[in-house]
Amino acid sequence: MALLGKLFVWWRGATPGTLITTWWSGSPVGEDQYGNRYYQTKDGKRRWVVYAGTVEASRVPPDWHGWLHHTFEHTPAEEPFRTKPWEQEYRPNLTGTSEAYRPSGSLWNDGKRPAATGDYKAWRPN
Protein backbone atom coordinates (compact mmCIF):
# COMPACT_ATOMS: atom_id res chain seq x y z
CA MET A 1 0.00 0.00 0.00
CA ALA A 2 2.84 2.41 0.76
CA LEU A 3 4.30 1.94 -2.73
CA LEU A 4 0.92 2.56 -4.39
CA GLY A 5 0.49 5.60 -2.19
CA LYS A 6 3.84 6.98 -3.36
CA LEU A 7 2.95 6.34 -7.01
CA PHE A 8 -0.52 7.87 -7.06
CA VAL A 9 -0.65 10.37 -4.21
CA TRP A 10 1.73 13.07 -5.47
CA TRP A 11 0.41 15.80 -3.15
CA ARG A 12 1.78 14.06 -0.03
CA GLY A 13 5.57 14.04 0.14
CA ALA A 14 7.85 13.53 -2.84
CA THR A 15 7.10 11.75 -6.10
CA PRO A 16 9.15 8.68 -7.05
CA GLY A 17 11.06 10.78 -9.61
CA THR A 18 12.00 13.36 -6.99
CA LEU A 19 13.05 10.65 -4.56
CA ILE A 20 15.27 9.00 -7.20
CA THR A 21 16.80 12.36 -8.18
CA THR A 22 17.38 13.17 -4.52
CA TRP A 23 19.00 9.80 -3.88
CA TRP A 24 21.07 9.83 -7.08
CA SER A 25 22.33 13.40 -7.37
CA GLY A 26 21.11 15.39 -4.37
CA SER A 27 23.07 16.59 -1.42
CA PRO A 28 21.15 17.85 1.63
CA VAL A 29 21.68 21.49 2.58
CA GLY A 30 19.16 22.08 5.35
CA GLU A 31 15.72 21.84 6.90
CA ASP A 32 13.22 24.53 7.87
CA GLN A 33 11.03 24.85 10.96
CA TYR A 34 8.17 23.04 9.17
CA GLY A 35 10.22 19.91 8.50
CA ASN A 36 10.74 20.54 4.76
CA ARG A 37 14.15 19.31 3.57
CA TYR A 38 16.20 21.18 0.95
CA TYR A 39 18.64 19.72 -1.55
CA GLN A 40 20.86 20.76 -4.41
CA THR A 41 22.87 18.95 -7.04
CA LYS A 42 26.52 18.43 -6.31
CA ASP A 43 27.45 21.25 -8.71
CA GLY A 44 24.86 23.57 -7.07
CA LYS A 45 22.93 24.35 -10.27
CA ARG A 46 19.60 22.73 -9.30
CA ARG A 47 17.83 23.19 -5.98
CA TRP A 48 14.63 21.60 -4.70
CA VAL A 49 12.53 20.89 -1.64
CA VAL A 50 11.05 17.65 -0.32
CA TYR A 51 7.96 18.68 1.61
CA ALA A 52 7.05 17.27 4.99
CA GLY A 53 3.41 16.46 4.37
CA THR A 54 1.22 18.18 1.81
CA VAL A 55 3.00 19.56 -1.24
CA GLU A 56 2.08 23.25 -1.08
CA ALA A 57 4.41 26.00 -2.29
CA SER A 58 3.24 28.43 0.40
CA ARG A 59 4.78 26.09 2.99
CA VAL A 60 8.26 27.27 1.95
CA PRO A 61 9.36 30.21 4.15
CA PRO A 62 10.65 33.36 2.40
CA ASP A 63 14.30 32.78 3.23
CA TRP A 64 14.29 29.27 1.76
CA HIS A 65 12.21 30.47 -1.21
CA GLY A 66 14.94 32.98 -2.00
CA TRP A 67 17.58 30.28 -1.81
CA LEU A 68 15.55 27.89 -4.01
CA HIS A 69 15.26 30.55 -6.72
CA HIS A 70 18.96 31.52 -6.58
CA THR A 71 18.18 34.93 -5.08
CA PHE A 72 20.47 34.09 -2.16
CA GLU A 73 23.73 32.26 -2.64
CA HIS A 74 23.88 30.87 0.89
CA THR A 75 21.24 28.83 2.69
CA PRO A 76 19.39 30.34 5.66
CA ALA A 77 21.29 27.86 7.84
CA GLU A 78 24.59 29.41 6.71
CA GLU A 79 23.46 33.03 6.55
CA PRO A 80 20.19 33.79 8.40
CA PHE A 81 17.58 35.94 6.71
CA ARG A 82 17.48 39.49 8.09
CA THR A 83 13.96 40.51 9.05
CA LYS A 84 12.61 43.94 9.85
CA PRO A 85 11.12 44.62 13.30
CA TRP A 86 7.70 45.39 11.76
CA GLU A 87 7.46 42.08 9.90
CA GLN A 88 5.14 39.39 11.19
CA GLU A 89 6.16 35.78 11.66
CA TYR A 90 5.77 33.81 8.41
CA ARG A 91 2.83 31.42 8.25
CA PRO A 92 1.91 29.16 5.33
CA ASN A 93 -1.42 29.47 3.53
CA LEU A 94 -4.07 28.32 6.02
CA THR A 95 -6.94 27.92 3.53
CA GLY A 96 -8.68 24.61 4.10
CA THR A 97 -7.44 24.27 7.66
CA SER A 98 -9.16 24.93 10.97
CA GLU A 99 -7.04 28.12 11.32
CA ALA A 100 -8.28 29.68 8.05
CA TYR A 101 -9.83 33.15 8.11
CA ARG A 102 -13.60 32.90 8.42
CA PRO A 103 -15.37 36.27 8.47
CA SER A 104 -18.71 36.77 10.17
CA GLY A 105 -21.48 35.53 7.93
CA SER A 106 -19.31 32.76 6.50
CA LEU A 107 -20.92 29.34 6.42
CA TRP A 108 -17.74 27.99 8.00
CA ASN A 109 -18.04 30.45 10.90
CA ASP A 110 -21.45 30.83 12.51
CA GLY A 111 -23.41 31.30 9.27
CA LYS A 112 -25.19 34.46 10.53
CA ARG A 113 -24.87 37.56 8.39
CA PRO A 114 -24.47 40.90 10.12
CA ALA A 115 -27.58 43.05 10.20
CA ALA A 116 -28.15 45.28 7.18
CA THR A 117 -27.31 48.93 7.81
CA GLY A 118 -29.78 50.40 5.33
CA ASP A 119 -27.08 52.16 3.31
CA TYR A 120 -27.62 49.92 0.28
CA LYS A 121 -30.14 50.80 -2.40
CA ALA A 122 -30.74 48.26 -5.14
CA TRP A 123 -30.23 49.48 -8.71
CA ARG A 124 -33.24 49.40 -11.00
CA PRO A 125 -33.16 50.30 -14.70
CA ASN A 126 -35.34 53.19 -15.82
User: Is the residue at 48 inside a domain?
Assistant: yes
Phi, psi of 36 (to 5 degrees): -70, 140
User: Is the residue at 17 inside a domain?
Assistant: yes
Cα-Cα-Cα-Cα dihedral sign, residues 99, 104, 110, 111:
negative
User: Is the residue at 95 inside a domain?
Assistant: no
pTM of model > 0.85: no
User: Is the residue at 91 inside a domain?
Assistant: no
Q: Residue 1's pLDDT is what?
A: 44
User: Is the residue at 47 inside a domain?
Assistant: yes
Of 30, 10, 12, residue with least CA distance to 78: 30
Give yes or no for residue 67 having a pLDDT over 80: yes
User: Is the residue at 61 inside a domain?
Assistant: yes
Average pLDDT value for the chain: 81
Number of domains present in the structure of the chain: 1
User: Is the residue at 29 inside a domain?
Assistant: yes
Structural domain including 48 reads 2-68
Better-predicted residue by pLDDT, 16 or 65: 65
User: Is the residue at 51 inside a domain?
Assistant: yes
Cα separation values, 118 from 101, 114, 115, Å = 27, 12, 9
pLDDT tens sequence across 89-100: 888 888 888 888
